[in-house]
Every structure is written in structure tokens, then in C-alpha cells.
Amino acid sequence: GAVVSQHPSRVICKSGTSVKIECRSLDFQATTMFWYRQFPKQSLMLMATSNEGSKATYEQGVEKDKFLINHASLTLSTLTVTSAHPEDSSFYICSARGQINQPQHFGDGTRLSIL
Amino acid sequence: DAKTTQPNSMESNEEEPVHLPCNHSTISGTDYIHWYRQLPSQGPEYVIHGLTSNVNNRMASLAIAEDRKSSTLILHRATLRDAAVYYCILRDISGGGSNYKLTFGKGTLLTVNP
């Protein structure tokens, strides 16, 4: 089946650090990529949607200057958490989809811990 | 987006069939029914999707009511590795816009007993 690779799987860093998370579709061209965040014992919350070569569309309440998304190719999207603080600690999950009628496939997530 | 209602939790025994229900009484004609599952500390995994007819794949079967207001995900023989949160999600692919994002609810936590 379709594979989405997300890296790194875990990050622990100091407050004020910027962290970049990569999401790659390994065996299909991802026309659209999605970034989710999941806090403990809660469901996934969509942060933003990006189409290759276009600016990302952010969900209400998500700061676009804090969560920078780049989707420069059909196989790679990156999420940069800028100047991360402890409240940004969470499980970040990317997802990719090819054609509109195809399922979304998810990465294994990145657990971000800000000290 | 049309909403879905699922039980918070269900329990099953290993090697027995599991029927996970989902109600979606406000479903529209262009809503596809998607099922995903999430194992602990992992991203969600696609299970199955359908529109009107029942669907089968190597992971599960999806039974869709004739009026489409409910559906059931069927795991034919539960294993311990099937313990996960199962999400039933409606996705509308009609009209304009190119994103058709998935919106996750709370899902059903399936426990499989050995």
C-alpha cells in the first residue's frame, strides 16, 4: 500500500528552538498534504492543508507564522514549528493524498517535546 | 461536514468477528464513508471506504445500510493487533475546492481480549 514517511519520529528540544518535520510520500505523488496535531487522549485536529506549489491553507486558530508549511514538490512537505514553547509539545502527524477520490495516507507521527 | 456517531468503546475476543457501528443520519448523496484506525503512538491507517455498496478488502468489510444513514465495519477475525481507535469519517467530494479534508471525531476504542 501507499507509504508516507515522516521524520523525525521524536524530538526533544529547548524552548525557543525551531523544529522542522519532514513528510514524504514514497510511492505516489502527493497532490495534497495535510498536517494534524494530536494532544494526549484527544482526536486528531487538522492544522493546515497544502497543495504542491501553493501556499498552505490554515485552519482557524492555527498561527501561520508559527507553523510554517512548505510543499515544494509532489513528494515532500515540511512543517517548521518556529520558536517552539512547551505548549507546542504534541504529536504531529502528516498525511498525503494523490487524486481527490483516493484515500489519505498518514505518516507515523512526530512526538515533539519542548522543555 | 455531516457528523458521525460511534460508541466510545467496544470489547471483543481474539479470533471472533467484530462489528463496529457508525451512525450518519445527515449523510448527503455525495459523502463517501471512510474508516481509519489508529494504533497507539502511530498515525492513522486507512482501512476501507465506500459510497453505497458493501465493500470488502483484505483488512475488513464495510456494510452500508440501504438508506446510507448507518454503516458497520466488520473485522472477520479480531487479533490483538486490531486493538486500536477506529474512526468513521464522511468525506464529500462534490462541488468545488480541491482539499476534501478528513475531520476526525473521537472514534471507537476497540479492546481485543486474548
The predicted pLDDT at position B1 comes to: 57
Beta strands A4-7 and A57-58: pairing type? unpaired
Could A93 and B44 be called an inter-chain contact, meaning their C-beta atoms sit closer than 8 Å? yes
In the block, residue with C-alpha cell 464529500: B92
Q: What is the mean pLDDT of chain A?
A: 93
Q: How far is A58 from chain B (nearest CA, A)?
A: 12
Classify residue B59 by burial, with Cβ atoms within 10 Å: 0-12, 13-18, 19+: middle
pLDDT digits (tens, 9 = 90+) for B61-110: 999 999 999 999 999 999 999 999 999 999 877 655 445 778 899 999 99
Average pLDDT of span A46-61: 91
Average pLDDT of span A25-49: 93
Chain B residues with CB-CB distance to A31 below 8 A: 98
B44 touches chain A (CB under 8 A): yes
Chain A residues with CB-CB distance to B36 below 8 A: 106
Q: How far is B5 from chain A (nearest CA, A)?
A: 14
**One-letter amino acid identity for B49?**
H
CA-nearest residue of chain B to A6? B43
The predicted pLDDT at position A51 comes to: 87
Q: How far is B79 from chain A (nearest CA, A)?
A: 21
Contact predicate B75/B82, CB 8 Å: yes
Looking at the predicted structure, is the pLDDT value of residue A91 above 60? yes
Q: How far apart are CA B48 and CA B36, in angstroms?
A: 7
Q: Which band of pLDDT confidence, cut at 50, 70 and 90, is reported for residue B2?
A: low
**Residue B65 in grid coordinates:** 445500510
The predicted pLDDT at position B47 comes to: 96
The predicted pLDDT at position A100 comes to: 77
Contact predicate A93/A77, CB 8 Å: no
